[in-house]
């Protein structure tokens, strides 16, 4: 609580410091230095860099910067921070997002029109120059711990991380919510990616960061999967959670590895996979959800056994442009939950398969570089207008049986499930006022294959719009 109160005070001071008011905030810390200290090797998410910024060569200012770097105690470095030389750093983080979702039918949205669901406070830093940590918690009465981990980062190519953090699967899932190109993650990533779990991971970067690998062992396969339910409502929940899960992800920037300079240098491709040892019998499969929260493919069919996921990803950020694409697929076993055949009692059903992909393109109209995150060259309150980015995205997500065996049915023991799919177009514009404030406006057109399982029955396609106001320290 004390830290929270303190953070509020320093946050206010920090905001004031954003304005060009000499003497009010102490020495100015060079942006390059901020980036170097704020970045962790453990998570490639929320990566900020100042590569696009003009270098400051003034010797006097460089001297001031060095002094600031060496300062002990509380400092302002984009956010309030507590530092003692190189051996201790604790940044205080705050993330606030307010969303205004508008749909053709207001009753589609359970939450109020103004949704301030994402309110998080945390600390992040390092100890003894090689031990990195992060702790983040929701600022809600029913909130939960988000990231809570320790990363041993003495060797860039061989690091070890333990605690609760995101399972290394899916580029977009690993991108922090405040760094997304669009307000909402894609339906396929929301449905098929894992989210956070407690576990341990080895990871590192090789060949001048051209290759990045992550291999982990987790207690389960993440928070995104629906909670476990028994087959029969009156029976107790399964004694043990699903899991454990094994995950691996590797990305490679082939042109960077080859030393190529130019636009292709930022092209990166990757593959990731997660395998869960066992999911207890029950309606515990992954489910498809629209942006309103409506489940167009709800948990219903009985699953039992291994759940596996694979993902392919591509990201390319040439200059002010950004291109991202992913293909994700999940396969969930249904061992011994069938009605049986003349040959076998309680037979095994074909796997339940979820699959989907997206491709998105963005363009920073004001010219800032996309790679590493957009930092406005001329922020608001410093004589500028900030940065403007526009983008478009197409995505699809489908659930079905791996093989068709008989008629598609709503029976939860049906070999052939009643399939459904969603396709969505998103058009968006984002305004980066400064490092802390971002405003996004998206128009989303959703289409559902089964009109009866659309958020609005008999109306399979409709537009929604969402406006987001974001503040991040």
Partner 1 sequence: MRARARLVLALAVAIAAGAATSVAAQTSNDLFNDQKLQRIDLYVYSKDWARLKAASNENTHYPADVRWSGLAARNASIRSRGSGSRSGTKPGLLIDFGHYVGGQTFVGLQRLVLKNLTQDPSTVREFLAMKLLRRMGIPAPREAYATLYVNNVYSGLYGIVENLDAVATQRLFGDGQGYLYEYNWLSYYYFTYPGADLQAYAGMYIPVTHEAEPPSALYGAIEAWTRTVNEAADEEFVGSVQAYLDLIPFVRLTAAQAYLSELDDFLGSWAINNVFIYRSPGKTVHQLIAWDEDHALWASDYPVTAGHDENVLMRRLMASSEWKSAYFATVLEAADVANQVNEDAPGQGWLEAEAIRAIGMVRAAVYADPYKPFTNDEFELDAARVLSFAQQRGPFVRCEVARLTRTVPARPCLVPAVGRASR
Binding site for partner 1 (CB under 8 A): 231-232, 337-342, 345-346, 406-415
Pick the closer one to partner 1 by CB: 407 or 451: 407
Residue (of 115, 144, 150) closest to 223 by Cα position: 144
Cβ 453 to partner 1 shortest distance, Å: 13
Pick the closer one to partner 1 by CB: 206 or 408: 408
Cβ 94 to partner 1 shortest distance, Å: 50
Q: How far is CA 19 from CA 14, 166, 421, in A?
A: 9, 35, 48
Q: How far apart are CA 148 and CA 196, in angstroms?
A: 10
Q: How far apart are CA 379 and CA 100, in angstroms?
A: 24
Pick the closer one to partner 1 by CB: 102 or 409: 409
Pick the closer one to partner 1 by CB: 22 or 236: 236
Beta carbons within 8 Å of 367's beta carbon, 6+ residues apart: 320, 377
Pick the closer one to partner 1 by CB: 71 or 412: 412
Pick the closer one to partner 1 by CB: 240 or 346: 346
Backbone angles phi, psi at 193, to 5 degrees: -75, 165
Helix H or strand E encompassing 63: helix 59-70
Cβ 124 to partner 1 shortest distance, Å: 49
Pick the closer one to partner 1 by CB: 73 or 342: 342
Angle subtended by helix axes 59-70 and 31-38, to nearest 10: 30
Residue (of 319, 214, 350) closest to 272 by Cα position: 214
Task: Copy the structure tokens of residue 338.
Answer: 């069938």
Does residue 425 contact residue 392 with C-beta atoms inside 8 Å?
yes
Helix (H, G, I), strand (E, B) or coil at 358: strand
Pairing of strands 420-432, 437-448: antiparallel
Pick the closer one to partner 1 by CB: 284 or 440: 284
- Conformational region of residue 104, where left means phi above 0, alpha means psi within -120 to 50, and beta covers everything else: alpha
Pick the closer one to partner 1 by CB: 62 or 345: 345
Cβ 232 to partner 1 shortest distance, Å: 7
Does residue 379 contact residue 435 with C-beta atoms inside 8 Å?
yes
Backbone CA torsion sign across 300, 301, 307, 308: negative
Does residue 412 contact residue 418 with C-beta atoms inside 8 Å?
no
Cβ 288 to partner 1 shortest distance, Å: 20
Q: How far apart are CA 355 and CA 312, in angstroms?
A: 12
Pick the closer one to partner 1 by CB: 150 or 408: 408
Q: How far apart are CA 317 and CA 106, in angstroms?
A: 37
Residue (of 394, 325, 392, 395) closest to 363 by Cα position: 392
């Amino acid at each position: 609580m004390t830290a929270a109160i303190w953070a509020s005070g320093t946050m206010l001071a920090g905001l004031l410091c954003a304005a060009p008011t000499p003497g009010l905030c102490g020495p100015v810390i060079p942006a390059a230095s901020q980036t170097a200290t704020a970045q962790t090797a453990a998570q490639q998410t929320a990566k900020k860099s100042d590569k696009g910024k003009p270098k400051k060569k003034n010797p006097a200012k460089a001297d001031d910067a060095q002094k600031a770097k060496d300062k002990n105690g509380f400092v302002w470095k984009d956010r309030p921070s507590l530092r003692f030389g190189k051996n201790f750093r604790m940044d205080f983080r705050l993330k606030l997002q307010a969303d205004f979702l508008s749909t053709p039918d207001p009753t589609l949205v359970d939450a109020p029109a103004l949704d301030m669901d994402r309110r998080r406070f945390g600390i992040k830093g390092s100890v003894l120059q090689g031990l990195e940590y992060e702790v983040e918690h929701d600022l809600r009465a029913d909130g939960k711990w988000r990231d809570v981990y320790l990363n041993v980062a003495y060797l860039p190519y061989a690091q070890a991380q333990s605690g609760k953090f995101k399972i290394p699967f899916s580029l977009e899932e690993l991108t922090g919510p405040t760094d997304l190109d669009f307000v909402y993650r894609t339906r396929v990533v929301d449905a098929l990616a894992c989210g956070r779990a407690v576990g341990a991971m080895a990871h590192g970067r090789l060949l001048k960061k051209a290759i990045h690998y992550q291999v982990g062992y987790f207690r389960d396969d993440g928070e995104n999967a629906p909670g476990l339910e028994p087959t029969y409502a009156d029976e107790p929940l399964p004694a043990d959670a699903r899991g454990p899960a094994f995950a691996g992800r590797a990305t490679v920037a082939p042109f960077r590895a080859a030393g190529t300079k130019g636009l292709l240098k930022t092209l990166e491709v990757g593959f990731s996979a997660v395998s869960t040892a066992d999911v207890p019998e029950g309606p515990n499969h992954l489910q498809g959800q629209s942006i309103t929260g409506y489940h167009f493919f709800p948990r219903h069919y009985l699953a039992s056994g291994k759940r596996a996921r694979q993902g392919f990803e591509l990201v390319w950020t040439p200059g002010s442009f950004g291109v991202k694409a992913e293909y994700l697929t999940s396969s969930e076993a249904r061992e011994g939950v069938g009605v049986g055949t003349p040959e076998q009692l309680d037979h095994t059903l074909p796997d339940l398969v979820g699959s989907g992909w997206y491709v998105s393109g963005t363009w920073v109209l004001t010219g800032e570089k996309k790679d590493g995150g957009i930092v406005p060259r001329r922020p608001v309150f410093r004589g500028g207008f900030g940065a403007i980015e526009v983008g478009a995205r197409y995505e699809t997500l489908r659930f079905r049986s791996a093989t068709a065996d008989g008629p598609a049915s709503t029976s939860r023991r049906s070999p052939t499930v009643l399939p459904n799919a969603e396709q969505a177009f998103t058009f968006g514009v984002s305004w980066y006022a400064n490092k802390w404030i971002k405003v996004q406006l998206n128009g989303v057109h959703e289409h559902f294959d089964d009109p009866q399982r659309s958020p609005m029955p008999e109306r399979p396609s409709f537009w929604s719009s969402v406006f987001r106001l974001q503040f991040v320290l």
